[in-house]
Amino acid sequence: MKSLKRRLIVLERITKAGMINFVRNAWLSVAAVAVMVITLTIVLFSVIARVTFNNTIAQINDKIDVSVYLKDEVTVQQKDSLVNKIKQLGTVKSVTYVSKQQALDKYRDQNAGNADLLVAISQTDNPLPASLNVKPIDPNQMEELKNFLEKPEIKELQSNKTSYSGDRKEAIDKISHATNFLQQAGLVAVIIFTIISILIIFNTIRMAIFNRRDELNIMRLLGASTWYIRGPFVVETMLYGLIAAILSVLICGALFSLSSGTFEASTLGLLDIKFANDYFISHYWVILTGQIAVGILIGAASSFLATRRYLKFKTTK
């Protein structure tokens, strides 16, 4: 009981000492917090940019589909069997059948403003073929589907050449290669920024503790335990992390909402600012909590490691 009470007293003192140090080392605190704000903002920004970017890529991928045009003679059984065979391919997400009539309706909708075309098309039999709309799971893996559709017995059923999103195959290939590369590059960027941030923060705190190594040494000589010396430093740097995390979230939020207003919810290259802003707002609490956790963790780990060398006892004889 007494030892528990004593531990609570010690914990209270460590926390209090950390806070007092934070206030008394005001300039150092400001400098350390500033460095952490900048690095944490960059990390947060790159994470959200990556999420946004992946969303853009997903949207592009979703638009990629393959149209298989069927001859008018193809029977329902043949059609169903073909649909099943395509569905059995491992790389296909979905197959949708578009009948001749649906194709015509769609054509009419798309050309609603062009009276001449509509007149022309209604004067003949429906010239549009039925088709299968095939969506791949991954646009980068369409070889299997292609090979399947090239088979003579399958080709026989098709009226026109297979259309890869309306003959934009090359464009699709380029986009899918580019997105693949950019996705990976985004991940690498996030990792690099995180590592650089940790190094910068660690170094800042290391310098701060280096300046106070005499203090550590004095406490050691007076018989303070390792945690009694280290504790206040850890508390102090956790405070840096906490404040820096909150500031970085505020800065990021302000940047996104400002820019999404300025660019009128437009798209800046591949970075959809409106999506980024929406994502930020809808995940606000998760982002804030996560950022605080990261800030506190980096702060605590930095001071833990930085104090270690000054807390060693001499063991040489």
Partner 1 sequence: MILLDRVTKVYGKGMTPALDRINLHVEPHEFVIVVGASGAGKSTLLKLLTREEKPTSGKIIVGGIDYDKLKDKDIPYLRRRIGTVFQDFKLLPNKTVFENVAFALEIVGTGKHEIRYTVPRVLDIVGLKGKEKRMPMELSGGERQRVAIARAIARQPKILIADEPTGNLDPKHAWDVIKVLQKINQYGTTVLLTTHNQEIVNKLKRRVITITDGKIASDRAQGSYKGL
Q: What's the closest the beta carbon of residue 2 comes to partner 1, in angstroms?
A: 9
Q: Is 224 in the site for partner 1 (CB under 8 A)?
A: yes
Q: Is 317 in the site for partner 1 (CB under 8 A)?
A: yes
Q: Terminal CA-to-CA distance of the chain, rounded, Å?
A: 39
| Structure-block tokens of residue 239 | 């405070």
Q: Is 304 in the site for partner 1 (CB under 8 A)?
A: no
Binding residue (CB under 8 A) for partner 1 from 140, 215, 279, 297: 215
Among residues 41, 12, 36, 43, which one has the least CA distance to residue 208? Answer: 36
Q: How far apart are CA 256 and CA 262, in angstroms?
A: 10
Could you say which residues in the range 248-287 bind partner 1, by CB under 8 A? none
Q: How far apart are CA 92 and CA 283, in angstroms?
A: 32
| Structure-block tokens of residue 243 | 């404040």
Binding residue (CB under 8 A) for partner 1 from 223, 264, 285, 286: 223
Strand pairing partners for 272? 267
Q: What's the closest the beta carbon of residue 212 comes to partner 1, in angstroms?
A: 8
**Residue with smaller CB distance to partner 1, 11 or 305:** 11
Q: How far apart are CA 89 and CA 147, in angstroms?
A: 11
Q: Is 152 in the site for partner 1 (CB under 8 A)?
A: no
Q: Is 26 in the site for partner 1 (CB under 8 A)?
A: no
Q: What's the closest the beta carbon of residue 23 comes to partner 1, in angstroms?
A: 10
- Name 286's Cβ contacts closer than 8 Å, sequence gap at least 6: none
Is 130 in contact with 100 (CB distance < 8 Å)? Answer: yes
**Residue with smaller CB distance to partner 1, 70 or 235:** 235
Q: Is 309 in the site for partner 1 (CB under 8 A)?
A: no
Footprint of partner 1 (CB under 8 A): 6-7, 9-10, 13, 21, 24-25, 214-215, 217-226, 228, 313-317
